[in-house]
Structures are given as C-alpha cells and as structure tokens.
Amino acid sequence: MAELPRNALTRSVRMAALPAAFAGRTALGFGKRVGGKSAELVAAELQARTAEQMFKVLGELKGGAMKLGQAMSIFEAALPEDFAGPYRAALTKLQDAAPPLPAEAIHKILAEELGVEWRTKFLEFADQPAAAASIGQVHKATWHDGRVVAVKVQYPGADKALISDLNQMARMGKLFASWIPGLDINPLLDELRDRAVDELDYLNESQNQRAFAIAFEGDPEFVIPHVLVAAPHVLVSEWVDGTALSSIIKDGSQAERDAAGVLYERFLLSGPSRAGLLHADPHPGNFRITPDGRLGILDFGACASLPDGLPSAMGSLLRIAQLGDAQTVIEGLRAEGFIKPNIEVDAEQVLGYLEPFVDPARYEEFTFSRDWMREQFTRMNDMRNPDFAVGLKLNLPPSYALIHRVWLGCIGVLCQLGATVPMRAELTRWVPDFTTAGQ
C-alpha cells in the first residue's frame, strides 16, 4: 500500500534539497544577469521557481512539512508586495490541496477502520478525493441514509512522518523562516509539535467537533457538520458545500470579503464562551462560505479547552492598553506570565510592541490590510526599533500559546481579506472584561 515517505533520512533529504536548489538557482540567476537579463526579471524568475518547488516538495511530503506551509500561509500578507506574488500562490495551494493517495490505499484503510463491509455503509463513495491536506484526505460520499458526507481518511504513516518533519524543521528553522521575513519560526514549530498528537487522533477531533456542533446547532450564521462515525484514522461527518475562504481572498468582492471577515472573526472569538473550546487552526482551508451566506467550519483537530471562556485578563489588558496606562499593563503582563520576574522592560516600549493587537480594538470598525500588516511586521522586526528588543524579552505562557496563534492567525487572514470588521462590538461581546475605553 502506498504510504507517506516516512523514513527520517528520506524526508530530511527532500527538505534539505530546498536550500540547495535555491542556491543553485541563485547562481544561475547571477549568470543570467551577466548574460544580459535584468536583475528584476531574474529575481522574479527565482521567486517563482522557488515557490513552485516549495509547494511541490511540501505538498508531496504532506505531514509536518505541509502543515508548516499551511501555518505560514496565514502570514503571507506580511510579505513585501514585490516579493509576495509567487509565494502567495504556492502557500494558498497548501491551504487545502495536496497530491492524493491512490484509491486502493484508501480502500484498505477504510476496511481496517470501518470493517471489511465498509461499502455497505455508503450508497455511493467517490474514489477521487475532494481535498487532500497535511495528514489526510477527504472523499465525498453518500451515507446509507441518503445524507451527503465527508469521509476524512488519515494517511498511513502520518504519525511518524509528522514527528520526523517537525524534528527536522526545528534543525532547519532559518531556512523555513526565510520564506516569511520577520516571522519567528521557532515558537511556531514548537506549538505545531505540541499539537501534533491531538491532530493525529481522529477520535479526539470527533469529540471537539461534536461539542461545537451541539453549541452551534441551528445557528443562522455558522454551520458545524455533525459527526456520523469516528475511528482512530477515519472520520465521517456531514458534507458542507460552499466557497473556500481562500477563493474569497483571491476573487471575492469587497462586500463578500467584509461579510466573510466578520463571520470568521466572530466564530474564532465566540467558540470559547459558546462551546468551551477555541478552534486553533485558523488557516483559510478550514472555512467555507455556504450558498446561504453562513460560515462552514471543517476541521477540529486542533482545539484548546477553555471551559471558562477566554481569559478575562485578555480583555482587561486590551482595555487598559487603549487608555495608555503602560505601568498597569506591565503589571498585568507579569501576573499572567508574559514578563518573567527577573526581566526588566520599558513600559512605553511594551505598549508600542503590543500595537498590532491594541490598535484594531480602538475602533468601532477597523479595516485590515496587507499594507497595515507589513508596516507592523517591519516595525516589530527592525533591529533599530526599540520595539524589537522588547519582543526578545517577552515570554509566551503555555496557557496562551494557542490563543496567541489564533489571534495572530485571525489578524493575518483578515489582512488577506482586506476586511472591515466591527472590532469593538465583537470584542465587547465575546472577550470577558473588555469594555470600550472611555465608556
């Protein structure tokens, strides 16, 4: 049966080929410049070829390599525009597509997980996958009761491949960080590694999905598909039709972008208070806009348990930061573990560092944009800027790791959408202890 390439040496060689190939193309580009091609044209060709190879290698390896690409795709809005085009296309592909496994391999997994008579559970089963992603692929089928369903099948060897990739990528952090200049890749790799076991467990995912489906049952704005059958490596749930959020990002009208942005932000913020869970995989491949205008959510492998909702300190610190009370913000950050006891920081510089989180919360409506995100990334990663040194002194408590990932991811996707969203109303509604400054 066909499997993911899971030998650590084989996968490491494939990933290590990326920098070697880039160096080769750089040398070739130098030769072309000497031969008369303009530097701009050569640079564009190099970026396109590097992006194409990145997608090909990560897509074929799937596993942790592709999962990193999906996570990084959220931040492509921070790329300089003249650098972004080829990478944007490649990273967007990684959000919800990859080379699929053959039908015979999928049939064998279904027999092992659902029983040798697995076909009797379906009236129809499409051998060609509807989507293929980092650790599994999805097939469209008709359940025995006539319901259209999504059958999610985990790749054989996905567990070993995922752990191998994440360990290897930790040793190659500088290479992967170079794809999104200014992104601190090591915390992202650490967090992906911490969540790997959860995302490999489809039984755990089914419990998360069931909790969300119950909490959002009949909601006029959101569609959470119900789970029909769950096994360790197979998950059958209701099918959700719709337009991928990545397509809205690429081709949507401004009205469609704004509407999608409001629903996307509202779902991520409301999950903890409504379901006791935070959906922690915010890349656009997990979201669809349904024909009736609702937001469909498809993947629940990465979730954080927050039975009491979002931490109240989040709201109170945002509120205090808006008022410019730097010293009280510092005290709150220390209490929550963001600043360790032996670390001294400049309070005003910390406020400046937090600006990407605080600024949108100041407005009744805020328009996210690629230009705004590039400005924030550039400022925060400029070694000449005092904010850069502050970032090196701050700590990320484990209890906030997934919240931080979702918050940053949400900002990244909203910037890709260029969406205008009612920030203060949503924060007031869903984040405990946040009230509009001045009220």
Residues 160-182: tens digit of each pLDDT:
766 666 666 665 555 555 444 44
The pLDDT, as a whole number, for residue 184 is 55
281 is catalytic: yes
Measured CA to CA, the distance from residue 290 to residue 308 in angstroms comes to: 30
Domain identity same for 143 and 166:
no
DSSP 8-state assignment for residue 303 = E
Which residues constitute the domain of residue 26? 8-98+162-182
Q: How many beta carbons lie within 10 A of that of residue 236, not counting itself?
A: 26
pLDDT (tens digit per residue) in 205-250: 999 999 999 999 999 999 999 999 999 999 999 999 999 998 999 8
Strand 222-223, strand 227-231: pairing: unpaired
Tens-binned pLDDT, residue by residue, of the chain (439 aa): 444 444 444 544 454 454 444 433 333 333 443 444 444 454 445 445 555 555 455 544 454 455 555 555 555 555 555 545 555 555 555 444 456 788 999 999 999 999 999 999 999 999 999 987 667 899 999 999 999 999 999 988 877 766 666 666 665 555 555 444 444 556 656 666 666 667 788 999 999 999 999 999 999 999 999 999 999 999 999 999 999 998 999 899 999 999 999 999 999 999 999 999 999 988 888 999 999 999 999 999 889 999 999 999 999 999 999 888 999 999 999 999 898 888 898 888 888 888 888 899 989 999 999 889 888 877 766 667 766 677 778 887 878 888 988 998 899 899 999 999 999 999 999 999 997 444 4
Q: Write out the E strands in 350-411.
A: 366-367
Residue 42 lies in a domain: yes
Measured CA to CA, the distance from residue 398 to residue 403 in angstroms comes to: 10
Domain identity same for 15 and 142:
no
Domain identity same for 110 and 203:
yes
- Tokens describing residue 91: 């990273």
For 35-157, where are the alpha helices, taking DSSP H only?
A: 39-61, 63-73, 81-96, 103-114
Domain identity same for 154 and 167:
no
Secondary structure of residue 244 in the 3-state scheme:
strand
Measured CA to CA, the distance from residue 186 to residue 401 in angstroms comes to: 13
Q: Please state, in angstroms and as integers, the Cα–Cα distance from residue 144 to each residue in 125, 151, 155, 203, 325, following that order.
A: 11, 13, 25, 22, 61
Domain identity same for 88 and 233:
no
The pLDDT, as a whole number, for residue 188 is 56
Domain identity same for 43 and 166:
yes
- Tokens describing residue 270: 């409301």
Domain identity same for 45 and 137:
no
Domain identity same for 318 and 409:
yes
The pLDDT, as a whole number, for residue 334 is 92
Beta bridge partners of 236: 151, 229
Residue 255 lies in a domain: no
Closest of 277, 270, 150 to residue 212, by C-alpha: 277
The pLDDT, as a whole number, for residue 230 is 97
Closest of 72, 124, 71, 129 to residue 98, by C-alpha: 129
Domain identity same for 78 and 141:
no
Instruction: List, in order, residues 6 or more apart from 412 with CB less than 8 Å away.
Output: 74, 75, 76, 77, 78, 373
Domain identity same for 66 and 125:
no
Residue 151 lies in a domain: yes
Residue 66 lies in a domain: yes
Residue 244 identity (one-letter amino acid):
A
Residue 437 lies in a domain: no
Strand 122-125, strand 303-305: pairing: unpaired
Domain identity same for 344 and 400:
yes
Domain identity same for 407 and 317:
yes
Radius of gyration of the chain (CA): 22
Catalytic annotation, pick one of 96, 165, 258, 281 = 281
The pLDDT, as a whole number, for residue 78 is 52
Our count of domains for the chain comes to 3
Residue 290 lies in a domain: no
**H/E element holding 32?**
helix 8-34
Q: How many beta carbons lie within 10 A of that of residue 175, not counting itself?
A: 15
**Crossing angle of helices 63-73/8-34, nearest 10°?**
50
The phi, psi pair for 294, rounded to 5°, reads: -90, 165
Residue 220 lies in a domain: no
Q: Please state, in angstroms and as integers, the Cα–Cα distance from residue 390 to each residue in 223, 341, 346, 351, 374, following that order.
A: 41, 15, 8, 10, 19
Measured CA to CA, the distance from residue 194 to residue 198 in angstroms comes to: 8
What CATH number does residue 205 fall under? 3.30.200
Beta bridge partners of 242: none
Measured CA to CA, the distance from residue 333 to residue 327 in angstroms comes to: 10
Residue 15 lies in a domain: yes
